[in-house]
Amino acid sequence: MDRVHAFGEDSSGDALGDLDAVGVVDALRAGTVSAREVIDAAIARTEAVNPTLNGLAYEAFDRARARAALPRPYGGYFDGVPTFIKDNVTVGGMPTMHGTDAWHPRPADADGDFARAYLSTGLVPLGKTRLSEFGFSASAEHPRLGPVRNPWNIEHTAGASSSGSGAFVAAGVVPIAHANDGGGSIRIPASCNGLVGLKPSRGRLPLDKDMRQMPLRIVYNGVLTRSVRDTAAFYREMERVAANPKLPPVGDVTGPGKQRLRIAVCTHSVAREASPEVSELTFKTSALLEELGHRVSVIDNPVPHRFTADFLLYWSFLAFALVRGGRRTFGPSFDRERLDNLTVGLERHAARNLHRLPTAMARLARVHKVTGRSTSAFDVLLTPTLADVTPRIGHLDPSADYQQIIDRLIDWVAFTPLQNATGEPSISLPLAHSASGLPVGMMFSAPAGQDARLLGLAYELEEAHPWRRIHG
């Protein structure tokens, strides 16, 4: 298997070494490395792996070096730690292309709401990362921009839509990168690349205006990391700058939770049963949970049978709005002829079914009440993150026939969309590997507001079953 990463053989070849984000913070504060050395190391690593992984959408290396040269570029806990921002949020001075090349890029005048909060934690952006076109696919394989490849095996997808961020964090380019999730786009690349990916509760983190204006808020910002403590530290720091008083605080989660949990396990989505290999790995995870003292019960799928069709229609409506309003939103250079077949196919699906949209949205808005009746007796729900192992590049080729693409997407991404509709937190953890050696994520979900519960469980599982390292 052909792995591509930027870690040195002895993990000490540059200022980043083998450190996670908290480790970089500690090294910076101890004075063993400087911010400039850390930023230079991340830039060198990007230049080393990007020609193969193809995760970079826009580079801002000079800007990062200039910020690192200041005494305190931003302030904040992560001051000086390099990162990337996914190319679908607004960052001042950088264009936003949403994973396409269907118009001419224009740098933004100022940071959007999310970037303003994200960067106030001290993270230093090296640029923006690739995603699938508008985030609609679970694999970034743009016909002209090329595929984003999985660092564990470059013949396979890095997942999507936060594909570039996932590939770069897994490959050791940066320890933490922004991701967001409208149907699994944090958790899918976390699973594919062997990372920690928490989709938080609805309202936990700020959204840019375009995402706030969606009729149903199914998109959530977050990060991808290699360690639970990095994810926990990120949410602690974001809470200091952008807390939502309507939600229970995450606080400073620094280790395993003490409560023994009632955990439901399900390997059958509304669309299909997980593959035999993924199901077996899921039940191995449930056995580990029982060994740790948690009470585990197998349950039937709690999702209403109409959910997949309803979610697809709403997903399609988002494509409809983007395509039909393209020139108004993106400028006169917008050319729908440059969009991929998935985007165009979704737009057409919505156009044919607009009369069904109000009913579909109403069902999605109350799906948490339906699923809650099946899961109310449990503290956490365990499912596989994805229904099968990570496919090869080409399986979700967006230039293929629309029906083929959408059928394959629904088949693979069978578990993650539910929590986008319910607003509940959900985390993918790299607890398993396929027979071929690719990471396989296990997904844990909890009631709305219980993000800290998931972090405490994640710490416990990381301690009991440390995940494999790409360079280990």
Q: Is residue 469 part of a domain?
A: no
Q: Determine contact, residues 63/92, Cβ cutoff 8 Å.
A: no
Catalytic residue flag (residue 185): yes
Q: Is residue 1 part of a domain?
A: no
Q: Is the pTM of this model over 0.85?
A: yes
Q: Is residue 96 part of a domain?
A: yes
Cα separation, 72 vs 87, in Å, equals 26
Using 50 as the pLDDT threshold, list the residues of the chain that sit under it: none
Give the pLDDT confidence score for residue 12 in this predicted structure. Answer: 57
Q: How many domains does the chain divide into?
A: 1
Give the pLDDT confidence score for residue 374 in this predicted structure. Answer: 80
Query: What would the pLDDT profile of 51-103 be if each residue is shown by its tens digit?
Result: 999 999 999 999 999 999 987 656 899 999 999 999 999 999 999 999 999 99
Query: What would the pLDDT profile of 259-289 be if each residue is shown by its tens digit?
Result: 999 999 999 998 899 999 999 999 999 999 9
Give the pLDDT confidence score for residue 52 in this predicted structure. Answer: 98
Q: Determine contact, residues 308/270, Cβ cutoff 8 Å.
A: yes
Cα separation, 282 vs 284, in Å, equals 5
CATH number assigned to the domain comprising residue 155: 3.90.1300.10
Q: Is residue 442 part of a domain?
A: yes
Which of 234, 232, 229, 226 lies closest to 439 in space, CA to CA?
226
Find the domain containing 385 and state its range. Answer: 21-464
Q: Is residue 93 part of a domain?
A: yes
3-state secondary structure at position 427: strand
Three-state SS for 119-135 is HCCCCEEEEEECCCHHH
Give the pLDDT confidence score for residue 10 in this predicted structure. Answer: 54
Q: Is residue 257 part of a domain?
A: yes
Catalytic residue (choose from 120, 139, 162, 185): 185
Query: What would the pLDDT profile of 438-458 be if each residue is shown by its tens digit?
Result: 999 999 999 999 999 999 999
Catalytic residue flag (residue 428): no
Q: Is residue 8 part of a domain?
A: no
Give the pLDDT confidence score for residue 373 in this predicted structure. Answer: 86
Give the pLDDT confidence score for residue 187 in this predicted structure. Answer: 98
Q: Which residues of 202-215 are buried (b: 16+ CB within 10 A; e: fewer)?
A: bbbbbbbebbeeee
**Bridge-based pairing state of the strands 146-147 and 141-142:** antiparallel
Catalytic residue flag (residue 161): yes
Q: Which residues of 65-100 are buried (b: 16+ CB within 10 A; e: fewer)?
A: bebbeeeebeebbbbbbbbbbbbbbbbeebbbbbbb
Give the pLDDT confidence score for residue 2 in this predicted structure. Answer: 80
Q: Is residue 5 part of a domain?
A: no
Catalytic residue (choose from 161, 191, 227, 428): 161
Give the pLDDT confidence score for residue 375 in this predicted structure. Answer: 87
